[in-house]
Structure 1
Amino acid sequence: MAHLNYNHLYYFWMTCKRGSVTAAAQALFLTPQTVTGQIKLLEERLKGALFVRKGPKITPTELGQLVFKYADKMFSLSYEMLDIVNYTGQESLLFEVGVADALSKGLASKVLMSVMPDDERMQLRCIESTHEMLLEQLSEHKLDMILSDCALDSDKHDALFSKWLGECGIAFFSSIHFDKTDKLVFPACLEQYPLLIPSRRSALGRKLLGWFEELGLAVSIMGEFDDAALMTAFGSASKGIFVAPAIYMEEIMMDQRIRLLGMTDDIKEEYYVIFAKRMIQHPAVQRLCQSDFSELFSGITR
């Protein structure tokens, strides 16, 4: 049997993973014409069509699904090999972590710093994005781990694992100047001023909206934020009410303009670590899975 051109197979695999020739070409830094040509050569080699066009989209044929099944195993193993070589054969260990932008950065940084070795042999690289985008990058072996506010849907990602790290209640703050005559009964006072909340794309944002509805609160949403740090900064300088984990109450109120309106444990910001099976032996992932963060999430600092 003639030798198989693995570049052709890789371009086909990337097209399947990305969902289109255009998306694959962008990821490969090639033109769509080049990718299409390489896939055509692979089809000639395998003596069959790998894709069928249905309107604007292409989907794998029966042969394409079979080829993708084996290609996915092959290239996943190659990435796994590179990961293992990376953290066993180098003096400085690179640890690439995705952090969901909806999470509070202070707490996220404390979780990550807890796994950094004292000998400074680990280099931490953090990437911030949405939960969905980070999952995609993790599946494509571009990240080692994700720190997120959402649990993993194991039905959709059977090659990934997740571990619950902890949770903390939510507090509501504002820099509004209140008169002594203002009646600030929590949570009814949330109806009096516009709110700044996490985006409804985040788990915490959806929980908040459900909580408002459950309590029958007619709140006015002034802004939704993907980035928790930006929401806090904006809230500190605006005439609205903003949300933050309750364990940061003292830190936030060091700014004397900020006032605590109330807090609740009915809604909690949760933290999960998500990683691929290939990363189980990574020392940082092992430390995270073995660590007890109960003191951190209860607001105890060392």
Structure 2
Amino acid sequence: MAKLNYNHLYYFWQVCKSGSVVRAAEVLNLTPQTVTGQLKALEERLRGNLFKRQGRGLVPSELGQLVFRYADRMFTLSQEMLDIVNYRKEASLLFDVGVADALSKTLVSRVLETAVVSGEPVHLRCFESTHELLLEQLSQHKLDMILSDCPVGSSLQEGLFSVKLGECAVSFWCCAPPSLMPFPECLRHHKLLIPGRRSMLGRKVLNWLQSQDLAVDILGEFDDAALMKAFGVANQAIFVAPTLYGQEHFSREGIVELGSIDSVMEEYHVIFAERMIQHPAVQRICNSDFSQLFTG
């Protein structure tokens, strides 16, 4: 009996995961005709049809579903094996981290400092994006860990774990105080910048504003915390930032705190796949005590 061509099986797996031959061809950097030809060769080897028509598209047949279950286990395990083998890049420990763009980069950098220790060179690579896109990259084994403002439910993301590192209160800041009105009444009389409502903090701030019955003029929503601060300073708008970070850094820039809201906390979580539990950098971060960082 002829051996199974694992390239053909890999192409089939990619078609099932991508949802179409065209999208799989883009991932594989092949032409759709080439992918179709490889699928036909696999069907001949397995003596059955792997797909059936459903409307204008293709869905796996019963045989296709069976083959996909085995292929998915095979290629997922092979990717995990490569993750473990590729921990080391040259003489350094490779550590790919995704950072949610809504988080304070100063606080994030202090968390990441714990992953770097003397005597064990670490090659740290950081990528910034939204929580949703980072989760997708983590599930595709493109990242080792995520720093985000919200946890992940194990029931929704099988094989992923999250650890809460800490939380800190947030304040409203402005380069030029809009008025002598008390907080939070002053928010009604000035342009306001808030974190994007796709982030956990953005939704919390919006809920707080509604609970205070504040009719505010929201000039913009920002996924990137550093960009929100820069835009706020340039346009003399009120913006949101962690209380501790602002009190430490903003005074030298002429930025004043209008008021804090202790009921709204910016949370910091690390999210990682089960296979990364033994990664030394992940262990150091998860086992570190960040209480002093988040409480000042």
- Does the pair score TM above 0.5? yes
* 1:145 aligned partner: 145
Q: CA deviation at 1:197?
A: 1.1
Seen in structure 2, the aligned counterparts of structure 1 residues 122 and 224 have a Cα distance that, compared at 3 Å, is: same
* 1:283 aligned partner: 280
* 1:16 aligned partner: 16
Contact 2:191 2:238 in 1 (8 A): yes
Aligned equivalents of 2:262, 2:36: Cα separation in 1: 54
Q: CA deviation at 1:185?
A: 1.5
Q: CA deviation at 1:251?
A: 3.5
Contact 2:149 2:268 in 1 (8 A): yes
Q: CA deviation at 1:86?
A: 2.3
One-letter identity of the residue aligned with 1:144 = D
* 1:250 aligned partner: 247
Aligned equivalents of 1:193, 1:53: Cα separation in 2: 58
* 2:257 maps to 1:260: yes
Seen in structure 2, the aligned counterparts of structure 1 residues 295 and 57 have a Cα distance that, compared at 3 Å, is: farther
Aligned equivalents of 1:254, 1:88: Cα separation in 2: 42
Seen in structure 2, the aligned counterparts of structure 1 residues 54 and 191 have a Cα distance that, compared at 3 Å, is: farther
SS of residue matched to 2:275: helix
Q: CA deviation at 1:163?
A: 0.9
- The 5 A counterparts of 1:1-302 are 1-55=1-55, 57-87=57-87, 91-178=91-178, 182-299=179-296
Aligned equivalents of 1:183, 1:61: Cα separation in 2: 70
Contact 1:184 1:261 in 2 (8 A): no
Q: TM-score, normalised by structure 1?
A: 0.91
Aligned equivalents of 1:87, 1:291: Cα separation in 2: 21
Contact 1:280 1:286 in 2 (8 A): yes
SS of residue matched to 2:163: strand
Q: CA deviation at 1:69?
A: 1.7
Contact 2:88 2:94 in 1 (8 A): no
Seen in structure 2, the aligned counterparts of structure 1 residues 44 and 119 have a Cα distance that, compared at 3 Å, is: same
One-letter identity of the residue aligned with 1:47 = R
Contact 1:165 1:272 in 2 (8 A): yes
Q: TM-score, normalised by structure 2?
A: 0.93
Contact 2:177 2:258 in 1 (8 A): no
Q: CA deviation at 1:53?
A: 4.3
Q: CA deviation at 1:294?
A: 0.7
Any gaps of 5 or more consecutive residues in structure 1? none
Q: CA deviation at 1:72?
A: 1.6
Aligned equivalents of 1:236, 1:40: Cα separation in 2: 61
Aligned residues: 296
- C-alpha root-mean-square deviation of aligned residues, in Å? 1.9
Q: CA deviation at 1:91?
A: 2.5
Aligned equivalents of 1:46, 1:184: Cα separation in 2: 76
Any gaps of 5 or more consecutive residues in structure 2? none
One-letter identity of the residue aligned with 2:208 = W
Q: CA deviation at 1:55?
A: 4.2
Seen in structure 2, the aligned counterparts of structure 1 residues 256 and 272 have a Cα distance that, compared at 3 Å, is: closer
